Amino acid sequence: MQIPCVRVAREDGERTRERLAERDLLDHDHEITVVDGWLYAPVVDPDAVPEKYTIEERDVPTRETQTMPADLLGFDPSYERLGDIVLLREDDHERARRIADAVMDSSIPVKTVLNRASKIEGEFRTREWDVLAGESTETIHREYGCAFALDVAEVYFSPRLATERHRVIQQAAADERIVDMFAGVGPFAIPFAGRGADVIAVDRNPVAIEYLRENARRNDVAERIEAIEGDVREVATGIEGGADRIVMNLPHSADAFLDTAIDLAGEECVLHYYDIQHEDDPYGPGERAIRVAAEGYEVSVETKHTVRSYAPHELNVCLDVRLRA
Ligand code: SAM
C-alpha cells in the first residue's frame, strides 16, 4: 500500500523525525525507511505537514510490533483519537464494548475509551459519553504543534476540524487584532496568537474558558490572549471594536450573533462564518444574513468552503467574507 512519506536527506532524518513527532504527524503503523541516501518518514496527515517538506507516496513496510484493534477484532472499527482518549460512535452497545476491549489490548497508547451517548446539545455544545474503559475524560490533544488540555465531557472539541482550523489560521498575519466569538478551549485562538496576533477569546462555558487560559499558558501565548467568560452579545460592549478578523464557529445559530460581529468589526475585517445548511443552498442563507447585518459595509465573499457533511443532505460550511466600511 502506498503511504504518504516525508522525504529528507538522511542526515536531516533525526531532526525531521522529532519535528514530525512533536506535531503528532508520524505514522507509527509503518516503518521509517532509508533508500539511496534519502530517509522516508511515513505521516498520518500529509496536509498538516509544513510546506517546506517534500511528500512522496511510497510502499513502506508495516511495523510488525504494532497490534491494532482490527488485528484483534477481525474487522476494522471506526474511531477517532483525542490525545490518549479513543472516541467511538457505535449504536450497538455490545459491539462498542468489544471494540473498546480490543483498543485497550492493542498497541495504541490509550487510557480511556468513550462511546457517544447523546447528540451535541445545549448552549455549551457538549455531549454525553459512555465510559467503556478507563476513567478520565480529560486529556491533552496535540494539533499542528499546539497542545490543548480539555475535558471532552465538559467542553466542545472536535479533532476532525483540525484541517479546517489550519486553513483559517494560516490566513492570519502577525499584529492582527482577532476576536474569536465562540472560542471553546482555544483551537483557533491559541494558534492565532502563536502567529503573533492579539486575540480576544470569548466563551460562555466557564470550564472552556478555564482550559483556554491553561492552554494559553501551556503554549506560551498567554500575553497575547484575553479570555473572557460570558455571552458574547453581553460582553461585546466591553470589548474595544476594530477587529481585523472575527471567527464565528457556532454553526447552528451564528446568524443571531451577526449584529454583535459587526459591532466588533474594524474598517476592514475578515469574517469566518460557520453554518450548517441544506446541500441545495449551503451558502445562500449565511451570505444573505451577513449582507443584511453588514449594512454600510462593502461585502465580498472570498471563499465558500465545505468543511464536511454534517447529516444526510446537510453540510457544515464556512464563508470567508471581507467587510470594508
Ligand atoms: N471554536 C471552538 C472550537 O472550534 O472547538 C468551539 C466551538 S463550539 C461549536 C461553540 C462554542 O460557543 C462552545 O464552546 C459554547 O460554549 C460557546 N457559546 C455558545 N453560545 C455562546 C454565547 N452566546 N456566547 C459565547 N460563547 C457561546
Q: How far is the CA of 6 from the centre of ligand 1 (A)?
A: 36
Cβ(129) to ligand 1 under 6 A?
no
- Which atom belonging to ligand 1 lies closest to the Cα atom of 165? 4
How far CA 38 is from CA of 18, 26, 28, 58, 158, in Å, comes to: 16, 17, 19, 12, 36
Place of cell 480539555: 150
Cβ(231) to ligand 1 under 6 A?
yes
Q: What's the distance, CA 187 to chain centroid?
A: 6
Report, as ranges of residue numbers, the positions in the chain whose pLDDT lies below 50.
none
Q: How far is the CA of 155 from the centre of ligand 1 (A)?
A: 9
Cβ(182) to ligand 1 under 6 A?
yes
Cβ(272) to ligand 1 under 6 A?
no
Q: How far is the CA of 122 from the centre of ligand 1 (A)?
A: 10
Cβ(124) to ligand 1 under 6 A?
yes
In the chain, beta strands by DSSP E: 2-9, 33-35, 38-42, 54-59, 79-82, 85-88, 112-116, 129-133, 138-143, 146-151, 177-180, 198-203, 225-229, 243-248, 265-278, 298-311, 314-324
Cβ(191) to ligand 1 under 6 A?
no
Closest CA to 166 of 272, 277, 29, 314: 272
What distance in Å separates the CA atoms of residue 258 and residue 230, rounded to the nearest whole number? 17
- Which of 144, 156, 165 to mutate to test ligand 1, by most ligand atoms within 8 A of the CB atom? 156
pLDDT digits (tens, 9 = 90+) for 151-165: 999 999 999 999 999
Spatial contact of 124 and 155, defined as CB atoms under 8 Å apart: yes
- Helical ranges in the chain per DSSP H: 13-22, 69-73, 93-105, 162-169, 189-194, 206-218, 232-235, 258-264, 284-293
Counting Cα atoms < 13 Å in the Cβ hemisphere of 107 gives 10
The sheet carrying 85-88 orders its strands as: 79-82, 85-88, 112-116, 129-133
Q: How far is the CA of 107 from the centre of ligand 1 (A)?
A: 35
Give residue 65's pLDDT.
72
Give residue 62's pLDDT.
86
Q: What's the distance, CA 316 to chain centroid?
A: 14
Cβ(215) to ligand 1 under 6 A?
no
pLDDT digits (tens, 9 = 90+) for 178-208: 999 999 999 999 999 999 999 999 999 999 9
- Which atom belonging to ligand 1 lies closest to the Cα atom of 158? 5
The residues pairing with 129 across neighbouring beta strands, listed in sequence order, are 116
- Which of 82, 204, 318 to mutate to test ligand 1, by most ligand atoms within 8 A of the CB atom? 204
